[in-house]
Structure 1
Amino acid sequence: MANFNPRMNRVRLYWMLQLLGWGGFAFVNIFFASLSQGISAVQLWAFVVLAAFYLISTHAMRHVVKSYGWFKMGIFRLLVQTILALLALSVVNVLAQILINLAFGTLNPNEDFRSLVIAVNLFVSFLYYAFWFLLYFLFHFLDNYNNSLKYEAKINEIRLNHLKSQLNPHFIFNALNSVRALVDEDPEKAKSAITRISNMLRFSLMMDKKQVIDFADELSTVKDYLALESIRFEERLEVIYQVEEEAFGYKIPPMMLQTIVENGIKHGISNLVKGGLIEIKCREGLQEELYIQVKNSGYLNPNSFKSQKEGAGHGIENTRQRLKLLYGDQASFRIFNSGNQFVITEIKIPKQRVTLE
């Protein structure tokens, strides 16, 4: 397979447009001249040479623009220099037309040197060059804008993959920690726990390269995780699910709900002697968005939350960043205390996600 060279493709496109544009200019002039008064071979070649001069002069101007970094200038300076360049090119073009007519013997001194004719030629030349500048600048800015979008999307994809890769060892550690205490106390429960861990690891590996997954798949993993934690906490953990049917029509980032629930277990319930409650509510909003609420027993200490946010990036801050990368301002996240006994985490996700390509 031939190597793809974006720069070579842009150069080829530039020359193709140059040749088509100024070739079309020559064709149109020859066509209308032949309709009005007929055209000789000498006049035909005069039009071709004039088109060639337009091509050469615009290419030379392109070289000046690129060499002196016009695109890095401020808008006012760029506008002034562009107008001056257009005027200079127009004057040179009018002189070139006189020389071309002189060389081909088509010069009419009584007509071509009239002030009105010269002024019209200057104005027409100015319009042609202005149109070329407009197209060239527009192409340049659109090309740069497209490249910037692709670059930003690629950077976001790299950051997103990095965030997801952070979750796997964090999740594995917590899952193994849950089963460790059961190995000696209850081997049968330990076997059941290991089976659930195996299911969760399989899911984690399968979902590793996906940006979003079906809500049903994520919820199934969360249920495995909470079943595993119920073995460890026994009667100290109460789990309630309130999931509307419409929620299963959505896709969410993999391990997102799992991370929130895990955070509630680790920082909330595990610190309480009597254990506590995990309640998961999911519903569809009026504007086709999914609302996820995880309520857990415990209390959110602002100082500990701040230290977590400035730390390795796991848990809450990881979830914030992933939502921002995938959905921008279309998603929302908040976590707050509900009295002194519960912490509530709320997430809103749009049905149509922003795609990173």
Structure 2
Amino acid sequence: MKLSAIKKYIDLKLVFLLAGFYALFDLVFIAKTAYMQSYHPERHFEPWADFLIYNLLIDWIIVVTYMTLIAISTKRFLYKNYSWVKIIIIHTVFSILIGFFIRLIFDLFAIVTGKIGLSEYQLEESFYRFIYVMDLNFLIYFAMVFIIYTYYYVKQVKEAEKQRSLLETQLVSARMKMLSSQLQPHFLFNTLNSIAVLADLDKEKAKDTIADLSDFLREILYKGDENEITLEQELRTLEYYLNILNVRFSDHLKITKHIDKNILHKKVPALLLQPIIENSIKHGYSYDHTDLEINITIKEEGKYLVIKIDNNGEAISSRHGELLHNGLGLANIDARLKNLYGSDYFFEISNKADAKGVKTIIKVPTI
């Protein structure tokens, strides 16, 4: 078995923690035995060699091995979200079985090594020894199970905190990239130039465009730190951007929206749509495609929210993976989706089936 496969099922840090805990228990047991031999020499005690090797060492190996298997099972319990009642019942049974396995292995070891003859073996005596330490085995087992659950809980908290910090960084990065993109000289120059022209032709439209530019930049700069917002909020930010585009590109750009109004309350990643639209416009226009049509379709399919943005512009020559590698904005979107939903999402940019344009499809779980 490869090292990566072992790490998938066995957490070595947890194994060392369990081994250390039980080693500490054995040290206390050794100290107690030494005290008893010093102050009660009249009692019969095993030789130290037999006590340390045949009792403690073998017992330590058995218990640590058994608890490693329990740790693996516990990890599966956590992923399957078993009820606490079921988990307690399972661990109670396992706590009894650990004593049974220890007794069985010790008996087999004694018979194999000749310490006890098969004819001398007494099942009743073995069962008595099993019952005699059953309460102690129960307490030790649940102490180690407590360590296992605490370890996994702390690990999950740390991973969740790391994930949250990463998502916040990515959101800030997305906002700054978007702001940097929109504050480039050509964007502001073209927008302000359009406003200047409108000032003579349509003062009200000029005022509206100034308001849209102001609101759009404000949304980017001062929107909260939420990684997911409602679709309605996301569309409001997008609307400011689309209004500016309609002024800039006039009759050369047509944007059509098909959005199910019943899903406006559903959550989507913040600042998701605008970079996709921007990418569609940037790569859609060409000498052969001077009039661009963009369709935005958002609907719910099963447990997923499906966002489809397609255009009739220039086809792409690169595959989806190459686009993510070469485009920082697209790579950022993919990274954010991965951190938000793990592997439970779909994101792909490809040419349309008729090769007349490009489509972008995003599927995220509905919340």
| Alignment TM-score, normalising by the size of structure 1 | 0.62
1:203·1:221 contact (CA, 8 Å) conserved in 2?
yes
Structure 2 CA distance for partners of 1:142 and 1:310, relative to 1, 3 Å: same
Aligned partner of 2:348: which letter? R
Q: Which moved more, 1:214-223 or 1:185-194?
A: 185-194
Q: Deviations over 1:54-93 (max 9, x none)?
A: xxxxxxxxxxxxxxxxx96695x88877776655543432
Deviation of 1:293 (Å):
0.9
- How far is the alpha carbon of 1:299 from its aligned partner? 2.9
Give the counterpart of 1:194 among 204, 210, 223: 210
1:182 paired residue among 185, 188, 194: 194
Q: Cα deviation per residue 1:139-196 (whole Å; 9 max; x = unaligned)?
A: 4454344334423432343233323322222134375254144255443454442221
1:275 to 266, 288, 291: 291
CA RMSD of aligned residues (A): 3.8
| Partner Cα separation in structure 2 for residue 130 and residue 304 of structure 1 | 54
2:166 paired with 1:143: no
**Match of residue 346 from structure 1:** 361
Residue in 2 that maps onto 1:325: 339
Could you tell me which of 27, 31, 53 is aligned with 1:92? 31
Residue type of the alignment partner of 1:290:
L
Contact 2:313 2:358 in 1 (8 A): yes
Which aligned pairs between 1:212-231 and structure 2 lie closer than 5 A?
212-231=228-247
Match of 1:295? 310
Aligned to 2:179: 168
Map of 1:198-209 to 2, 5 A cutoff? 198-209=214-225
> In the alignment, is the contact (CA less than 8 A) between 1:233 and 1:275 conserved in 2?
no
Is the partner of 1:329 in helix, strand or coil? coil
List gaps (5 residues or longer) in structure 2: 1-10, 47-124
1:256 matched to 2:272? The reply is yes
**CA deviations over 1:76-118 (Å, ceiling 9, x no partner):** x88877776655543432233455xx4xxxx694xx53779xx
Task: Provide the C-alpha distance between the structure 1 equivalents of 2:238 and 2:261, rounded to a whole number of angstroms.
Answer: 17
Residue 264 of structure 2 aligns to a residue whose secondary structure is: helix
Contact 1:163 1:322 in 2 (8 A): no
User: Residue 229 of structure 1: CA displacement?
Assistant: 1.6
Q: Structure 2 CA distance, aligned partners of 1:162 and 1:73?
A: 34
* Unaligned 5+ runs, structure 1: 1-70, 353-357
Q: What's the counterpart of residue 226 of structure 2?
A: 210
Aligned residues: 269
Identify if the C-alpha distance between structure 1 residues 279 and 245 changes in structure 2 by more than 3 Å, giving closer, same or farther: same
Measured in 2, the distance between the counterparts of 1:317 and 1:273 equals 26
| Helix, strand or coil at the partner of 1:302 | coil
Relative distance call for 1:301 and 1:91 in structure 2 (3 A) is same
Query: Residues 326 and 194 of structure 1: is their aligned pair in 2 closer, same or farther, counting only changes over 3 Å?
Result: same
Q: Identify if the C-alpha distance between structure 1 residues 273 and 178 changes in structure 2 by more than 3 Å, giving closer, same or farther.
A: farther
Instruction: Kindly provide the CA deviation profile for residues 226-265 of structure 1, in whole angstroms up to 9, marking residues without a partner as x.
Output: 2322222222222212111222121222221122112112
Opposite residue 93 of structure 1, the aligned amino acid is: K
Q: For residues 179 and 156 of structure 1, what CA distance do their matches in structure 2 show?
A: 32
- Structure 1 residues 240 and 206, CA gap change in structure 2 (3 angstroms): same
Asked whether the 8 Å contact 2:310–2:357 carries over to 1, the reply is yes
CA separation of 1:185 and 1:328: change in aligned 2, threshold 3 A: same
Give the secondary structure class of the aligned counterpart of 1:203. helix
Q: Is the 8 A contact 1:241 1:280 kept in 2?
A: yes
Q: CA deviation at 1:290?
A: 1.4
Q: Counterpart of 1:113?
A: 44
- Please report the TM-score for the alignment, with normalisation by the length of structure 2: 0.60
Q: 1:141 to 1:251 in 2, by over 3 A?
A: closer
Deviations 1:12-64, CA, capped at 9 Å, x for gaps: xxxxxxxxxxxxxxxxxxxxxxxxxxxxxxxxxxxxxxxxxxxxxxxxxxxxx
Residues 135, 210 of structure 1: alpha-carbon distance in 2 compared, 3 angstrom cutoff: closer
